[in-house]
Each structure stands twice: as structure tokens, then as C-alpha cells.
């Protein structure tokens, strides 16, 4: 496992795009493949490059290729400032991804190309509304999280949200994700990125992956027919509480 450098942002983004291309939330919000691809590239690239570079980690194989990426975000950031900053950062990142987006467009139908060109400016705003819509529907689950913390005396000011972890589809099932995830926790704690770790998942397969790696389910929220599961790592809360 290594820290993510700015030079690795593109390859790390490629891994997450490949991993999340068929994620239920993104296929629901962006059923058009071209729009979904543009959204995923701008979303993950901006998140890594501008917001969470210090708390992102990657795992490389023997050849030096990035096979797995994880992003943690600091929940202490003001959500409104984070939203405004992220919109600007996504717009700034979009031209940098022009080559990749262009390749996607060239392989698409004329209708898809025209649709993408017409709607790209609105997509940046749409994806933020998507995230806010997604977030507001998790209010009940986050309330369950807060109650869980208070009941166990695990309240912490330095909570980290596991925003995304993904492995190249061709490399899944080889333990790369688990290796990266469990190597990242002690390193982040050593750098004062410690505290509670939580996440939400809408993919049952991913829920089982997180359970194998020490996360427990706090509750769930329904979102357009999908079940969003909120999970935490209790042992990491205890480390902070007893410190």
C-alpha cells in the first residue's frame, strides 16, 4: 500500500470508475452510459485530487499497476462549503479528462454524443443534486449511527467516512481490497486521521465484503427501491475512546 500522489490520480480514478460503473446508485441516477462515465470520472478525480489526496491510498501489483483504491473523507468539513468547492473542482477537472471522455464519446452513437454535449454543463450540477438527494435519504440511518455512538460512549470529533473503495474487475477476488483497507486504518490513525469509520453501501455483495473486514450494520434506509446499509467499524471507535 502507498499514499496517493498527484501523478497517480488518473490511474486511481480509472480503478474506481471500472469498479463503480454498474453500482446500483449510479446506474439508477445516470442510466445513460456516457453520462455515467463522465460523472464517475469527474466525481472520483475531483474527490481524490482536490479534497482527499492525503487520506487516499492505493495498492499496486508486482508490475507497479494500481489495482485498488480507497478514499476516506473528513466529516468535519462544512457540507455547504464542500458542495460549492466540489462543483468548482469538478468543472475544473472536466477538461483534464477530455481525452478519456472523448474516447467514450467516439465509441457511442450520434444520439449519445449529442445528448452528452448538450447536457454536460447541467450534469455537474445534477450530480451534486444527486449526492444531496442521496444524502437526505440517509438521515434516518445517520441518526441511528449517532444513537449508536452515544449509547456506547464512542463519540469522536475526528470521524472519517469511507467514501469509496474499488478494485479493478479483473483483479477482484484476490484479496486486494481487504489488504488495502486494513493496511490503511493504522496508517491513518498514526497520522491523526483516527476516530470512527463509517460508510454506506447499496450493494449486498459489498456489504458482505465490509462485514468480512470488521464492519457492522447499524441500520438501513430505503432509496428508490434500493436498500442503503449504514455500517461502522466498532473496534476503531474503541481505540479512540480509550486513547
| Residue 129 backbone class (left: φ over 0; alpha: ψ -120 to 50; beta: rest) | alpha
Residue 164 lies inside a defined structural domain of this protein: no
Domain count, the chain: 1
**Which tens digit of pLDDT belongs to each residue from 170-188?**
999 889 999 998 888 777 7
CA gap 95, 198 in Å, rounded: 33
| pLDDT over 70 percentage in the chain | 51
List the beta strands (DSSP E) in the chain: 2-3, 56-60, 66-74, 160-167, 197-201, 216-223, 226-232
Give this prediction's pTM. 0.71
Count of CB atoms within 10 A of residue 144's CB?
A: 17
Which has the closest alpha carbon to 49: 103, 101, 77, 85?
A: 85
Residue 165, Cβ density class (10 Å: 0-12 exposed, 13-18 middle, ≥19 buried):
buried
Residue 88 lies inside a defined structural domain of this protein: yes
The sheet carrying 56-60 orders its strands as 2-3, 56-60, 66-74, 160-167, 197-201, 226-232, 216-223
For residue 95, the 8-state DSSP code is G
Structure-block grid coordinates of residue 52: 482527499
* pLDDT band at residue 156 using 50, 70 and 90 as cut-offs: low
Residue 94 lies inside a defined structural domain of this protein: yes
Mean pLDDT of the chain: 71
- CB distance 47 to 163 below 8 Å: yes
Residue 90 lies inside a defined structural domain of this protein: yes
Residue 106 lies inside a defined structural domain of this protein: yes
Residue 196 lies inside a defined structural domain of this protein: no
**Which tens digit of pLDDT belongs to each residue from 15-39?**
999 999 888 878 877 787 877 887 7
**Which tens digit of pLDDT belongs to each residue from 213-227?**
888 887 777 766 777
Evaluate if residue 160 carries a pLDDT over 90: no
Q: Which domain holds residue 125?
A: 2-69+76-136
Count of CB atoms within 10 A of residue 62's CB?
A: 5
Residue 194 lies inside a defined structural domain of this protein: no
Contact partners, residue 127, CB within 8 Å, separation at least 6: 29, 30, 39, 42, 43, 90
Residue 6 lies inside a defined structural domain of this protein: yes
Amino acid at each position: 500500500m502507498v499514499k496517493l500522489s498527484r501523478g497517480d490520480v488518473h490511474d486511481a480514478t480509472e480503478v474506481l470508475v471500472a469498479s463503480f460503473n454498474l453500482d446500483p446508485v449510479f446506474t439508477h441516477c445516470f442510466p445513460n452510459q456516457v453520462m455515467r462515465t463522465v460523472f464517475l470520472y469527474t466525481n472520483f478525480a475531483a474527490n481524490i485530487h482536490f479534497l482527499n489526496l492525503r487520506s487516499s491510498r492505493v495498492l499496486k501489483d508486482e508490475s507497479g499497476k494500481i489495482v485498488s483504491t480507497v478514499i476516506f473523507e473528513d466529516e468535519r468539513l462544512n457540507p455547504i462549503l464542500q458542495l460549492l468547492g466540489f462543483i468548482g473542482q469538478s468543472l475544473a477537472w472536466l477538461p483534464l479528462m477530455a481525452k478519456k471522455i472523448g474516447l467514450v464519446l467516439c465509441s457511442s452513437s450520434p444520439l449519445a454524443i449529442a445528448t452528452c454535449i448538450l447536457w454536460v454543463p447541467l450534469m455537474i450540477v445534477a450530480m451534486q443534486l444527486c449526492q444531496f438527494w442521496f444524502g437526505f435519504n440517509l438521515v434516518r440511518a445517520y441518526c441511528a449511527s449517532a444513537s449508536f455512538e452515544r449509547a456506547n460512549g464512542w463519540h469522536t470529533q475526528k470521524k472519517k467516512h469511507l467514501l469509496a473503495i474499488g478494485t479493478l474487475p479483473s483483479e477482484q477476488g484476490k484479496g486486494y481490497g481487504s489488504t488495502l483497507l486494513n493496511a490503511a486504518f493504522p496508517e491513518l490513525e498514526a497520522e491523526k486521521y483516527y476516530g470512527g469509520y463509517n460508510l454506506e453501501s447499496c450493494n449486498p455483495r459489498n456489504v458482505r465484503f465490509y462485514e468480512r473486514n470488521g464492519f457492522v450494520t447499524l441500520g438501513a434506509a430505503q432509496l428508490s427501491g434500493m436498500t442503503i446499509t449504514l455500517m461502522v467499524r466498532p473496534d476503531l471507535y474503541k481505540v479512540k475512546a480509550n486513547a
